[in-house]
């Protein structure tokens, strides 16, 4: 028996890293009966007579997990947003940030393709606001390369941590990785002009050694559901709302229809961006209108 970490999952095999070696393993049948699925990033107990035939015997406790992309024990989420093709979207960015907050993951916002957009004011204004909330932000200086300052910023976030890249298809996740570490030689794809979205160029999840940490390049996607977030929890996943919530008239204020709401007052005053508040209401209504999932009840 040995302990290791799943670094790649592909075609029913789990590739476990332990003591400087990679072991090809399969999961026990009992995992299916227990409705458990090993994820990349999981720490596991496994048994292996050689590096090609191993069996995962036990999944060790996770501190968190993402469903899309399927990765466990994530420390940092690098949110890759495109300035154009696809266009910059605060709604999508807020979805990603809420997901990271709910899983107690740090966030780093990276805006790609800034050199391809002429009107930058709205993006710069949004980025400035997110930075004020404590989310570090980086703007791409070129579509072809990264500066030393960008490398150092990424290295500081990645070192000693498990980092996941998230963002919709075509935003430039694989391109960013290629620029940071050309030896990775990841396949990149052009945005499909007919569909207005990127081709899914990443076919599996794999943890890649980078800057003293582990970084997952993952399939792109353009939407996230809040299946595991309750309406009462959502206000606490917004750092700006969370800070002023004690000034609301009612405890547990959802910042929706309640009188004496400090958040709504600050939106009217222009302190909080109206677009961000509209995104919040959209998410809240989405959660409130969600159909009950009886499969989760025992």
Q: Where are the domains of the chain?
A: 2-61, 66-217, 234-296
Q: Which residues contact 181 (CB under 8 A, 6 or more apart)?
A: 208, 210
**Residue-wise DSSP of 90-108:** HHHHHHHHHHHHHTT-EEE
Q: How many CB atoms lie within 10 A of CB 264?
A: 18
| More confidently predicted of 185 and 262 | 262
Pick the range with the lowest mean pLDDT from 147-151, 233-237, 260-264.
147-151
| Of the options 2.40.40.20, 2.40.50.140, 2.30.110.10, 3.10.20.740, the CATH number for the domain spanning 2-61 | 2.40.50.140
- Indicate the DSSP class of residue 144: S
d(C-alpha 252, C-alpha 248), whole Å: 9
pLDDT bin (cut points 50, 70, 90) of residue 220 is low
Would you state the pLDDT for residue 223?
A: 53
pTM beyond 0.85, yes or no: no
Which segment of 26-30, 44-48, 287-291 scores lowest on mean pLDDT?
26-30
Q: Residue 296 CB: number of other CB atoms within 10 A? A: 8
CB 139 within 8 A of CB 195: no
Report helix, strand or coil for 231: coil
CATH entry, 234-296, from 1.10.40.50, 3.30.390.50, 1.20.1440.230, 3.90.1150.10? 1.10.40.50
Class at the top of the CATH hierarchy for domain 66-217: alpha beta
Phi, psi of 25 (to 5 degrees): -135, 170
Q: DSSP alpha helices (H): ranges in 159-231? A: 173-180
């Amino acid at each position: 028996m040995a302990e290791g970490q799943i670094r790649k999952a592909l075609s029913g095999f789990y590739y476990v890293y332990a003591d400087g070696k990679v072991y090809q393993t399969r999961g026990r049948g009992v995992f299916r009966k227990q409705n458990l699925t090993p994820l990349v990033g999981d720490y596991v107990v496994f048994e292996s007579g050689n590096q090609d035939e191993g069996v995962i015997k036990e999944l060790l406790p996770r501190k968190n997990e993402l469903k899309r992309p399927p990765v466990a024990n994530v420390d940092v989420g690098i949110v890759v947003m495109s300035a154009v093709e696809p266009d910059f979207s605060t709604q999508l960015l807020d979805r990603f940030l809420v997901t990271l907050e709910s899983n107690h993951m740090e966030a780093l916002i990276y805006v790609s393709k800034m050199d391809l957009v002429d009107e930058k004011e709205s993006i710069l204004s949004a980025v400035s606001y997110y930075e004020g909330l404590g989310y570090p932000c980086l703007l791409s200086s070129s579509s072809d390369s990264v500066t030393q300052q960008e490398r150092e910023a990424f290295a500081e976030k990645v070192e000693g941590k498990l980092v996941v890249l998230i963002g919709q298809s075509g935003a430039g996740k694989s391109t960013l990785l290629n620029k940071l570490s050309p030896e990775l030689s990841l396949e990149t794809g052009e945005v499909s002009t007919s569909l207005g979205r990127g081709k899914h160029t990443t076919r599996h999840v794999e943890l890649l050694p980078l800057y003293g940490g582990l970084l997952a390049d993952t399939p792109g996607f353009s939407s996230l559901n809040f299946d595991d977030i309750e309406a009462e929890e959502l206000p606490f996943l917004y750092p700006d709302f969370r800070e002023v919530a004690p000034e609301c008239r009612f405890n547990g204020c959802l910042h929706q229809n309640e009188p004496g709401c400090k958040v709504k007052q600050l939106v009217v005053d222009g302190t909080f961006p109206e677009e961000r508040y509209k995104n919040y209401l959209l998410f809240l209504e989405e959660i409130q209108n969600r159909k009950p999932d009886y499969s989760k009840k025992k």
